[in-house]
Amino acid sequence: MKIAFFDAKQYDKESFEIAARDSGIEFKFYDTKLNADTASLARGADGVCIFVSDTVDREVAEKLHSLGVKYIALRCAGYNNVDLKATEGKLRVVRVPAYSPYAVAEHAMAMLLTSIRRIHKAYIRTKDFNFSLSGLTGFDLHGKTVGVVGMGKIGSVFSDICRGFGMRILAYDKYPRELEGVEFTGLDRLFAESDIISLHCPLTPESYHMISGDAIAKMKKGVMIINTSRGALIDSDALLEAIKSRRVGGACLDVYEEEGDLFFEDLSGHIISDDTLARLITMPNVLVTSHQAFLTNEALKNIADVTVSNLLELERDGECANEL
């Protein structure tokens, strides 16, 4: 089985070459992202393997189908970049539903702690032998209220971490359930009472820009917002205005709604044309990482192993539990 692997990074190649050893799957790695202009690279392949920045809209789906491609293997959990209506009856789509909820949840907490305790600022200062504590005052997490939006595996792990800090946990999920130490509630109450809000839900038409100007107006003044899920859950322009007006006390962003042509690349020698992102990064109370939350050795191994298994099941058995 031949698979065209798009948006390949070195860490992808290493983990997938190990996972595919003796499997009969041959990956051909391409640095470029999948889109209408690059879909022809999949000619002769049985399937494509894609990530969050690749695009499978109707045009791409039809082109892949015309080239004889049968499978789309997402090496991630989210699938908002795939038009499932366009692939129906033409391409079979599989994903990795849970590669390491600990990786993402721990990164969310790492960003929060770094931000509120000014660890990044202290690190830079001490490199210059500046040991002043001026401007580094943070606040305790113990006793604070955290609102967790989305209580799947990642949200549940993040909640467990917050419980360890002695935090009060409010949660919102479309399918609430009984969980020790967690109180499920509606979004309006979660917004109103939370000192910290962390997003762990998928991007759907319903959740698009759930953090909007109107939503921010319902939140506590000085609220901290964390997003390690999907960038378009937040209206970035509304967030920027709320930070400028000091309505939002800080933001920890591992994702950004227009990240497709920016994240995963070294643009240090370029001028960033996205004014909103450029302004956000200049804010002293905004911490940005470039979709890094998943990046652990354990997660990379699980992603590769499950993706290879998904493809083998489709080819060998004609069905896969992780098919969308």
Please give the Cα distance from 52 to 101 (Å, whole number): 17
Which is the catalytic residue, given 95, 168, 200, 291?
291
| Nearest C-alpha neighbor of 286 from the set 137, 118, 144, 167 | 118
Active site (annotated) includes residue 21: no
Alpha carbon distances (Å) from 147 to 72, 155, 199, 224: 35, 10, 8, 10
Alpha carbon distances (Å) from 12 to 8, 99, 154, 302, 307: 6, 14, 22, 12, 12
Backbone dihedral region for residue 305 (phi beyond 0: left; psi -120 to 50: alpha; all else: beta): alpha
Which is the catalytic residue, given 75, 92, 230, 247?
230
DSSP string, 1-47: -EEEE-S--HHHHHHHHHHTTTTT-EEEE-SSPPSTTTGGGGTT-SE
| Nearest C-alpha neighbor of 169 from the set 194, 140, 186 | 194
Q: Six-digit token pair at 324?
A: 């969308």
Placement of tokens 């979004």 in the chain: 187
Active site (annotated) includes residue 291: yes
Placement of tokens 């020790």 in the chain: 180
Q: Which residues pair with 286 in a beta bridge?
A: 251
Instruction: Work out the widest C-alpha separation in the chain, in whole angstroms.
Output: 64
Active site (annotated) includes residue 163: no
Which is the catalytic residue, given 259, 265, 316, 323?
259
Placement of tokens 């709320």 in the chain: 242
Contact 250/224 with Cβ under 8 angstroms? yes
What amino acid positions are annotated as catalytic residues?
230, 259, 291
